[in-house]
Structure 1
Amino acid sequence: MNILITGANRGLGLEFVNQYKMSSNNRIFACCRNPQQLQIEEENVTVHKLDVTSLDNMKELKSEIANTPIDLLIHNAGVYGSKNSFGNVDVDSWLNTLKINTIAPLKLSEILVDNVAASQKKMIAIITSKMGSISDNTSGGSYVYRTSKSAVNMVGVSMSRDLKPQGITVLLLHPGWVETDMGGSNALLKPKESVEGMCKVIETTTDSGAFFAYDGQKINW
Protein backbone atom coordinates (compact mmCIF):
# COMPACT_ATOMS: atom_id res chain seq x y z
CA MET A 1 0.00 0.00 0.00
CA ASN A 2 0.94 3.61 -0.50
CA ILE A 3 0.25 5.44 2.78
CA LEU A 4 0.42 9.19 3.40
CA ILE A 5 0.54 10.33 7.04
CA THR A 6 0.38 13.90 8.33
CA GLY A 7 1.98 14.95 11.62
CA ALA A 8 4.43 12.08 11.16
CA ASN A 9 7.35 13.39 13.18
CA ARG A 10 6.13 12.42 16.67
CA GLY A 11 3.45 10.75 18.76
CA LEU A 12 0.78 8.79 16.93
CA GLY A 13 1.97 9.91 13.50
CA LEU A 14 5.48 8.57 14.09
CA GLU A 15 4.04 5.34 15.48
CA PHE A 16 1.92 4.91 12.33
CA VAL A 17 5.13 5.33 10.29
CA ASN A 18 7.01 2.82 12.44
CA GLN A 19 4.30 0.18 12.21
CA TYR A 20 3.49 0.50 8.53
CA LYS A 21 7.14 0.70 7.43
CA MET A 22 7.75 -2.84 8.77
CA SER A 23 6.15 -4.25 5.63
CA SER A 24 8.29 -3.82 2.54
CA ASN A 25 5.06 -3.87 0.54
CA ASN A 26 4.15 -0.49 2.04
CA ARG A 27 5.44 2.81 0.75
CA ILE A 28 5.16 5.58 3.33
CA PHE A 29 4.91 9.31 2.62
CA ALA A 30 5.71 10.81 6.04
CA CYS A 31 4.64 14.45 6.18
CA CYS A 32 5.46 17.02 8.84
CA ARG A 33 6.08 20.72 9.22
CA ASN A 34 9.80 20.31 9.98
CA PRO A 35 11.21 17.37 7.97
CA GLN A 36 14.60 17.67 9.66
CA GLN A 37 12.96 16.36 12.84
CA LEU A 38 12.19 13.03 11.17
CA GLN A 39 15.33 11.02 10.44
CA ILE A 40 14.26 7.74 8.82
CA GLU A 41 16.54 5.78 6.51
CA GLU A 42 14.25 2.97 5.37
CA GLU A 43 13.94 2.72 1.61
CA ASN A 44 10.15 2.53 1.74
CA VAL A 45 9.78 5.85 3.64
CA THR A 46 10.11 9.33 2.15
CA VAL A 47 9.79 12.49 4.23
CA HIS A 48 7.89 15.51 2.93
CA LYS A 49 7.41 19.04 4.24
CA LEU A 50 3.79 19.83 5.04
CA ASP A 51 2.38 22.65 7.13
CA VAL A 52 -1.30 21.73 7.19
CA THR A 53 -2.30 25.38 7.63
CA SER A 54 -0.78 26.22 4.25
CA LEU A 55 -2.69 25.53 1.04
CA ASP A 56 0.50 26.28 -0.89
CA ASN A 57 2.30 23.52 1.04
CA MET A 58 -0.52 21.11 0.23
CA LYS A 59 -0.28 21.93 -3.46
CA GLU A 60 3.51 21.51 -3.37
CA LEU A 61 3.05 18.08 -1.80
CA LYS A 62 0.62 17.17 -4.55
CA SER A 63 3.25 18.19 -7.12
CA GLU A 64 5.86 16.03 -5.38
CA ILE A 65 3.77 12.87 -5.42
CA ALA A 66 2.15 13.70 -8.79
CA ASN A 67 -0.28 10.95 -9.80
CA THR A 68 0.96 8.33 -7.34
CA PRO A 69 -2.03 6.37 -5.98
CA ILE A 70 -2.58 6.80 -2.23
CA ASP A 71 -4.28 3.74 -0.74
CA LEU A 72 -4.53 5.22 2.74
CA LEU A 73 -4.52 8.92 3.64
CA ILE A 74 -4.17 9.40 7.40
CA HIS A 75 -5.03 12.85 8.73
CA ASN A 76 -3.16 12.72 12.01
CA ALA A 77 -1.75 16.25 12.48
CA GLY A 78 -3.54 17.97 15.34
CA VAL A 79 -3.26 20.34 18.28
CA TYR A 80 -5.17 20.76 21.54
CA GLY A 81 -5.25 24.56 21.50
CA SER A 82 -5.85 26.69 24.56
CA LYS A 83 -7.39 25.12 27.66
CA ASN A 84 -9.26 28.25 28.76
CA SER A 85 -12.55 27.75 30.58
CA PHE A 86 -15.90 29.42 29.98
CA GLY A 87 -15.57 33.21 29.99
CA ASN A 88 -11.92 33.00 29.08
CA VAL A 89 -11.72 31.31 25.65
CA ASP A 90 -8.78 32.44 23.49
CA VAL A 91 -10.31 33.20 20.08
CA ASP A 92 -6.98 33.25 18.20
CA SER A 93 -6.10 29.80 19.57
CA TRP A 94 -9.59 28.57 18.66
CA LEU A 95 -9.27 29.74 15.05
CA ASN A 96 -5.80 28.20 14.69
CA THR A 97 -7.01 24.91 16.16
CA LEU A 98 -9.91 24.81 13.71
CA LYS A 99 -7.47 25.41 10.83
CA ILE A 100 -5.34 22.43 11.86
CA ASN A 101 -7.87 19.96 13.25
CA THR A 102 -10.90 20.65 11.07
CA ILE A 103 -10.17 22.56 7.88
CA ALA A 104 -6.85 20.90 6.96
CA PRO A 105 -8.24 17.34 6.65
CA LEU A 106 -10.92 18.59 4.26
CA LYS A 107 -8.62 20.72 2.10
CA LEU A 108 -5.86 18.10 1.86
CA SER A 109 -8.48 15.47 0.97
CA GLU A 110 -9.77 17.74 -1.80
CA ILE A 111 -6.25 18.15 -3.18
CA LEU A 112 -5.36 14.43 -3.00
CA VAL A 113 -8.76 12.90 -3.78
CA ASP A 114 -7.71 11.79 -7.27
CA ASN A 115 -4.68 9.99 -5.80
CA VAL A 116 -6.91 8.16 -3.31
CA ALA A 117 -9.50 7.31 -5.96
CA ALA A 118 -6.76 5.85 -8.19
CA SER A 119 -5.63 3.37 -5.52
CA GLN A 120 -6.85 -0.10 -4.58
CA LYS A 121 -7.83 0.51 -0.93
CA LYS A 122 -9.29 4.01 -1.42
CA MET A 123 -9.40 5.00 2.25
CA ILE A 124 -9.20 8.27 4.20
CA ALA A 125 -8.75 8.02 7.99
CA ILE A 126 -9.22 11.04 10.23
CA ILE A 127 -7.73 10.83 13.72
CA THR A 128 -10.36 12.59 15.80
CA SER A 129 -11.37 12.21 19.46
CA LYS A 130 -14.21 11.04 21.66
CA MET A 131 -14.01 14.54 23.12
CA GLY A 132 -15.80 15.59 19.95
CA SER A 133 -18.76 13.37 20.82
CA ILE A 134 -21.69 15.53 21.98
CA SER A 135 -23.45 12.62 23.70
CA ASP A 136 -20.24 11.75 25.61
CA ASN A 137 -19.70 15.29 26.94
CA THR A 138 -20.59 15.10 30.62
CA SER A 139 -17.87 17.40 32.00
CA GLY A 140 -18.09 20.53 29.82
CA GLY A 141 -15.06 22.75 29.17
CA SER A 142 -12.37 22.21 26.51
CA TYR A 143 -14.33 24.39 24.10
CA VAL A 144 -11.51 24.82 21.62
CA TYR A 145 -10.52 21.18 21.24
CA ARG A 146 -14.02 19.70 21.57
CA THR A 147 -15.52 21.93 18.88
CA SER A 148 -12.66 21.28 16.46
CA LYS A 149 -13.20 17.54 16.79
CA SER A 150 -17.00 17.71 16.60
CA ALA A 151 -16.59 19.75 13.43
CA VAL A 152 -14.09 17.37 11.83
CA ASN A 153 -16.46 14.49 12.62
CA MET A 154 -19.06 16.26 10.49
CA VAL A 155 -16.44 16.84 7.79
CA GLY A 156 -15.71 13.11 7.74
CA VAL A 157 -19.37 12.11 7.54
CA SER A 158 -20.02 14.59 4.71
CA MET A 159 -16.95 13.35 2.82
CA SER A 160 -18.14 9.76 3.22
CA ARG A 161 -21.36 10.72 1.42
CA ASP A 162 -19.73 12.89 -1.23
CA LEU A 163 -16.95 10.41 -2.07
CA LYS A 164 -19.09 7.27 -2.11
CA PRO A 165 -19.50 7.38 -5.93
CA GLN A 166 -15.69 7.14 -6.20
CA GLY A 167 -15.59 4.12 -3.91
CA ILE A 168 -13.68 5.98 -1.18
CA THR A 169 -14.15 4.92 2.45
CA VAL A 170 -13.82 7.58 5.17
CA LEU A 171 -13.16 6.52 8.78
CA LEU A 172 -13.20 8.61 11.96
CA LEU A 173 -10.88 7.14 14.59
CA HIS A 174 -10.58 7.86 18.31
CA PRO A 175 -7.08 6.80 19.44
CA GLY A 176 -7.92 6.64 23.15
CA TRP A 177 -6.10 8.60 25.84
CA VAL A 178 -2.52 8.13 24.67
CA GLU A 179 0.80 9.02 26.26
CA THR A 180 1.95 11.67 23.79
CA ASP A 181 2.91 15.35 24.10
CA MET A 182 -0.82 16.11 23.93
CA GLY A 183 -2.07 13.24 26.10
CA GLY A 184 0.50 13.67 28.86
CA SER A 185 2.26 11.18 31.12
CA ASN A 186 -0.90 10.08 32.97
CA ALA A 187 -2.53 8.68 29.82
CA LEU A 188 -3.81 5.12 29.81
CA LEU A 189 -2.30 3.94 26.52
CA LYS A 190 1.08 3.83 24.86
CA PRO A 191 1.21 4.93 21.20
CA LYS A 192 2.06 1.39 20.09
CA GLU A 193 -1.14 -0.08 21.56
CA SER A 194 -3.33 2.71 20.21
CA VAL A 195 -1.93 2.56 16.69
CA GLU A 196 -2.03 -1.25 16.57
CA GLY A 197 -5.73 -1.02 17.35
CA MET A 198 -6.41 1.70 14.79
CA CYS A 199 -4.48 -0.21 12.11
CA LYS A 200 -6.70 -3.22 12.79
CA VAL A 201 -9.83 -1.08 12.35
CA ILE A 202 -8.39 0.35 9.13
CA GLU A 203 -7.65 -3.15 7.88
CA THR A 204 -10.98 -4.73 8.72
CA THR A 205 -13.77 -2.17 8.28
CA THR A 206 -15.45 -0.64 5.25
CA ASP A 207 -18.16 1.18 7.25
CA SER A 208 -17.67 4.59 5.66
CA GLY A 209 -18.61 7.58 7.80
CA ALA A 210 -18.52 5.61 11.05
CA PHE A 211 -16.81 6.72 14.28
CA PHE A 212 -14.64 4.01 15.87
CA ALA A 213 -12.43 3.81 18.93
CA TYR A 214 -8.99 2.23 18.62
CA ASP A 215 -10.42 -1.02 20.05
CA GLY A 216 -13.03 -1.32 17.30
CA GLN A 217 -15.99 -0.11 19.37
CA LYS A 218 -18.34 2.36 17.67
CA ILE A 219 -18.71 5.75 19.35
CA ASN A 220 -21.97 7.70 19.54
CA TRP A 221 -22.06 11.17 18.05
Structure 2
Amino acid sequence: MSTAVITGANRGIGLALSQQLAAKGWDIIAICRSDSEEIEQIADMVISGIDITQPDHIQQVKKVLGDTQIDLLINNAGLLQNETLGEIDYDSIRQQFEINTLAPLQVTEALIDNMIEGSKIANITSRMGSIADNDSGGRYGYRASKAAFNAIGKSLAEDLKVRGIAVAQLHPGWVQTRMVDFSGLLTAEESAAGLIERIEELTLGNTGGFWHSNGDVLPW
Protein backbone atom coordinates (compact mmCIF):
# COMPACT_ATOMS: atom_id res chain seq x y z
CA MET A 1 0.00 0.00 0.00
CA SER A 2 1.31 3.46 -0.94
CA THR A 3 0.87 6.53 1.25
CA ALA A 4 0.19 10.07 0.08
CA VAL A 5 0.50 13.16 2.30
CA ILE A 6 -1.58 16.07 1.00
CA THR A 7 -1.68 19.62 2.37
CA GLY A 8 -4.87 21.64 2.06
CA ALA A 9 -6.75 18.36 1.68
CA ASN A 10 -10.05 19.29 3.28
CA ARG A 11 -11.66 20.95 0.24
CA GLY A 12 -11.26 21.88 -3.43
CA ILE A 13 -8.41 20.36 -5.41
CA GLY A 14 -6.83 18.82 -2.32
CA LEU A 15 -10.04 16.99 -1.45
CA ALA A 16 -10.54 15.80 -5.03
CA LEU A 17 -6.95 14.52 -5.15
CA SER A 18 -7.50 12.72 -1.85
CA GLN A 19 -10.74 11.12 -3.05
CA GLN A 20 -9.33 9.95 -6.37
CA LEU A 21 -6.08 8.62 -4.93
CA ALA A 22 -8.02 6.81 -2.19
CA ALA A 23 -10.18 5.22 -4.89
CA LYS A 24 -6.97 3.96 -6.50
CA GLY A 25 -5.97 2.28 -3.24
CA TRP A 26 -3.68 4.90 -1.72
CA ASP A 27 -3.58 5.56 2.01
CA ILE A 28 -4.30 9.26 2.50
CA ILE A 29 -2.80 11.45 5.23
CA ALA A 30 -4.57 14.80 5.08
CA ILE A 31 -3.02 17.95 6.51
CA CYS A 32 -5.33 20.93 6.85
CA ARG A 33 -6.21 24.01 8.84
CA SER A 34 -9.81 22.89 9.31
CA ASP A 35 -11.32 19.44 9.21
CA SER A 36 -14.20 18.56 6.90
CA GLU A 37 -16.72 15.73 6.84
CA GLU A 38 -15.69 14.90 3.29
CA ILE A 39 -12.01 14.36 4.07
CA GLU A 40 -12.82 12.42 7.25
CA GLN A 41 -14.81 9.96 5.14
CA ILE A 42 -11.89 8.92 2.97
CA ALA A 43 -8.59 9.80 4.70
CA ASP A 44 -6.74 7.24 6.78
CA MET A 45 -5.42 10.06 8.96
CA VAL A 46 -6.43 13.71 9.25
CA ILE A 47 -4.05 16.11 10.95
CA SER A 48 -6.09 19.29 11.34
CA GLY A 49 -5.50 22.63 13.01
CA ILE A 50 -2.23 22.93 11.10
CA ASP A 51 -0.94 26.27 9.84
CA ILE A 52 1.92 25.26 7.55
CA THR A 53 3.53 28.70 7.87
CA GLN A 54 4.25 27.91 11.52
CA PRO A 55 7.40 25.82 12.13
CA ASP A 56 6.04 24.37 15.37
CA HIS A 57 2.93 23.15 13.53
CA ILE A 58 5.12 21.46 10.91
CA GLN A 59 7.13 19.82 13.68
CA GLN A 60 3.84 18.62 15.16
CA VAL A 61 3.02 16.93 11.84
CA LYS A 62 6.49 15.38 11.75
CA LYS A 63 6.03 14.02 15.26
CA VAL A 64 2.60 12.55 14.49
CA LEU A 65 3.91 10.83 11.35
CA GLY A 66 6.97 9.42 13.10
CA ASP A 67 8.69 7.02 10.71
CA THR A 68 5.66 6.58 8.41
CA GLN A 69 6.89 6.06 4.86
CA ILE A 70 5.68 8.73 2.42
CA ASP A 71 5.47 7.64 -1.22
CA LEU A 72 3.89 10.86 -2.47
CA LEU A 73 3.92 14.36 -1.00
CA ILE A 74 1.49 16.82 -2.58
CA ASN A 75 2.16 20.43 -1.59
CA ASN A 76 -1.28 21.78 -2.43
CA ALA A 77 -2.17 24.43 0.16
CA GLY A 78 -2.06 27.95 -1.26
CA LEU A 79 -3.41 31.49 -1.12
CA LEU A 80 -4.53 33.81 -3.94
CA GLN A 81 -4.89 37.54 -3.31
CA ASN A 82 -5.03 40.47 -5.72
CA GLU A 83 -3.01 43.67 -5.71
CA THR A 84 -3.51 46.67 -7.97
CA LEU A 85 -0.59 48.93 -8.87
CA GLY A 86 -0.88 52.05 -6.76
CA GLU A 87 -2.87 50.19 -4.11
CA ILE A 88 -0.51 47.34 -3.26
CA ASP A 89 -0.92 45.68 0.12
CA TYR A 90 2.60 44.50 0.92
CA ASP A 91 1.44 42.55 3.95
CA SER A 92 -0.75 40.55 1.57
CA ILE A 93 2.26 39.86 -0.64
CA ARG A 94 4.30 38.73 2.36
CA GLN A 95 1.48 36.42 3.43
CA GLN A 96 1.33 34.84 -0.01
CA PHE A 97 5.08 34.24 0.04
CA GLU A 98 4.76 32.60 3.45
CA ILE A 99 1.99 30.25 2.30
CA ASN A 100 2.79 29.68 -1.38
CA THR A 101 6.59 29.61 -1.28
CA LEU A 102 8.19 29.10 2.11
CA ALA A 103 5.62 26.79 3.69
CA PRO A 104 5.83 24.00 1.09
CA LEU A 105 9.62 24.09 1.29
CA GLN A 106 9.45 23.79 5.07
CA VAL A 107 6.97 20.90 4.82
CA THR A 108 9.16 19.13 2.29
CA GLU A 109 12.33 19.58 4.32
CA ALA A 110 10.61 18.32 7.47
CA LEU A 111 9.22 15.19 5.80
CA ILE A 112 11.97 14.31 3.32
CA ASP A 113 13.52 11.70 5.59
CA ASN A 114 10.22 9.81 5.47
CA MET A 115 10.61 9.45 1.71
CA ILE A 116 12.52 6.70 -0.04
CA GLU A 117 13.93 6.00 -3.49
CA GLY A 118 10.97 6.06 -5.86
CA SER A 119 8.94 8.54 -3.81
CA LYS A 120 7.53 11.62 -5.56
CA ILE A 121 6.78 15.25 -4.74
CA ALA A 122 4.02 17.10 -6.59
CA ASN A 123 4.01 20.85 -6.08
CA ILE A 124 0.66 22.40 -7.02
CA THR A 125 1.77 25.72 -8.45
CA SER A 126 0.24 27.95 -11.14
CA ARG A 127 0.99 29.05 -14.67
CA MET A 128 0.62 32.55 -13.18
CA GLY A 129 4.10 31.88 -11.82
CA SER A 130 5.39 31.73 -15.39
CA ILE A 131 7.26 34.89 -16.35
CA ALA A 132 7.13 34.07 -20.06
CA ASP A 133 3.36 33.48 -19.94
CA ASN A 134 2.48 36.74 -18.17
CA ASP A 135 0.61 38.91 -20.67
CA SER A 136 -1.95 40.48 -18.33
CA GLY A 137 0.03 41.81 -15.34
CA GLY A 138 -1.38 42.27 -11.87
CA ARG A 139 -1.58 39.68 -9.09
CA TYR A 140 1.87 40.75 -7.91
CA GLY A 141 2.03 38.64 -4.78
CA TYR A 142 0.54 35.50 -6.28
CA ARG A 143 2.62 35.61 -9.46
CA ALA A 144 5.87 36.32 -7.61
CA SER A 145 5.25 33.73 -4.89
CA LYS A 146 4.44 31.04 -7.43
CA ALA A 147 7.45 31.96 -9.60
CA ALA A 148 9.61 31.57 -6.49
CA PHE A 149 7.87 28.26 -5.71
CA ASN A 150 8.71 27.08 -9.22
CA ALA A 151 12.36 27.92 -8.63
CA ILE A 152 12.29 26.03 -5.35
CA GLY A 153 10.68 23.02 -7.01
CA LYS A 154 13.37 22.95 -9.68
CA SER A 155 16.12 23.10 -7.04
CA LEU A 156 14.45 20.30 -5.08
CA ALA A 157 14.34 18.19 -8.25
CA GLU A 158 18.08 18.62 -8.76
CA ASP A 159 18.98 18.09 -5.11
CA LEU A 160 16.81 14.99 -4.69
CA LYS A 161 17.91 13.12 -7.82
CA VAL A 162 20.66 11.44 -5.84
CA ARG A 163 18.02 10.10 -3.43
CA GLY A 164 15.84 8.81 -6.27
CA ILE A 165 12.98 11.24 -5.53
CA ALA A 166 11.26 12.94 -8.48
CA VAL A 167 9.65 16.38 -8.28
CA ALA A 168 7.04 18.07 -10.50
CA GLN A 169 5.59 21.58 -10.65
CA LEU A 170 1.95 21.19 -11.67
CA HIS A 171 -0.60 23.80 -12.74
CA PRO A 172 -4.12 22.52 -11.99
CA GLY A 173 -5.86 24.65 -14.62
CA TRP A 174 -8.49 27.29 -13.91
CA VAL A 175 -10.51 25.31 -11.40
CA GLN A 176 -13.92 26.01 -9.90
CA THR A 177 -12.81 26.46 -6.30
CA ARG A 178 -13.47 28.95 -3.52
CA MET A 179 -10.10 30.57 -4.32
CA VAL A 180 -11.56 31.97 -7.58
CA ASP A 181 -15.17 32.25 -6.40
CA PHE A 182 -15.99 29.07 -8.35
CA SER A 183 -15.51 30.90 -11.67
CA GLY A 184 -13.13 28.39 -13.26
CA LEU A 185 -13.45 26.24 -16.38
CA LEU A 186 -12.66 22.88 -14.75
CA THR A 187 -14.23 21.10 -11.85
CA ALA A 188 -11.91 20.09 -9.03
CA GLU A 189 -12.53 16.47 -10.01
CA GLU A 190 -11.48 17.07 -13.62
CA SER A 191 -8.35 18.91 -12.52
CA ALA A 192 -7.42 16.21 -10.00
CA ALA A 193 -7.73 13.49 -12.63
CA GLY A 194 -5.25 15.32 -14.87
CA LEU A 195 -2.88 16.04 -11.99
CA ILE A 196 -2.84 12.37 -11.01
CA GLU A 197 -2.00 11.41 -14.61
CA ARG A 198 0.96 13.80 -14.51
CA ILE A 199 2.08 12.37 -11.16
CA GLU A 200 1.88 8.85 -12.53
CA GLU A 201 4.04 9.90 -15.51
CA LEU A 202 6.65 11.56 -13.27
CA THR A 203 10.05 9.85 -13.22
CA LEU A 204 13.66 10.76 -12.56
CA GLY A 205 13.93 11.14 -16.31
CA ASN A 206 11.55 14.12 -16.42
CA THR A 207 11.93 15.39 -12.86
CA GLY A 208 11.93 19.16 -12.45
CA GLY A 209 9.40 19.85 -15.18
CA PHE A 210 6.52 22.34 -15.16
CA TRP A 211 3.26 20.96 -16.55
CA HIS A 212 -0.38 21.88 -16.99
CA SER A 213 -2.75 19.24 -15.64
CA ASN A 214 -3.68 18.50 -19.28
CA GLY A 215 -0.09 17.46 -20.00
CA ASP A 216 1.13 20.62 -21.75
CA VAL A 217 4.67 21.68 -20.87
CA LEU A 218 4.56 25.22 -19.51
CA PRO A 219 7.19 27.93 -20.00
CA TRP A 220 9.13 29.23 -17.03
Count of residue pairs the alignment pairs up: 216
Identical amino acids, percent of aligned pairs: 42
Matched, 1:213 2:212: yes
SS of residue in 2 equivalent to 1:140: coil
1:166-217 alpha-carbon deviations (Å, 9 max, x no partner): 1111100000000001123331111111110010010012111100000111
CA distance in 2 between counterparts of 1:131 and 1:58 reads 27
1:154-173 alpha-carbon deviations (Å, 9 max, x no partner): 00001111111111111000
Tell me which residue corresponds to 1:187: 184
Structure 1 residues 200, 95: closer, same or farther in 2, change over 3 A?
same
CA distance in 1 between counterparts of 2:87 and 2:139 reads 11
On the 8 A contact 2:118/2:164 being kept in 1, the answer is no
Large movers: runs of 4+ above 3 Å: 36-39
CA distance in 1 between counterparts of 2:183 and 2:162 reads 43
Q: Which runs of 5+ in 2 are unaligned?
A: none
1:130 aligned partner, one-letter code: R
On the 8 A contact 1:72/1:121 being kept in 2, the answer is no
Structure-1-length-normalised TM-score = 0.93
Matched, 1:16 2:13: no
1:64-102 alpha-carbon deviations (Å, 9 max, x no partner): 111111000000000102x12112111111111100000
Structure 1 residues 114, 172: closer, same or farther in 2, change over 3 A?
same
CA distance in 1 between counterparts of 2:37 and 2:9 reads 10
Tell me which residue corresponds to 2:77: 77
Matched, 1:128 2:125: yes
CA distance in 1 between counterparts of 2:182 and 2:104 reads 27
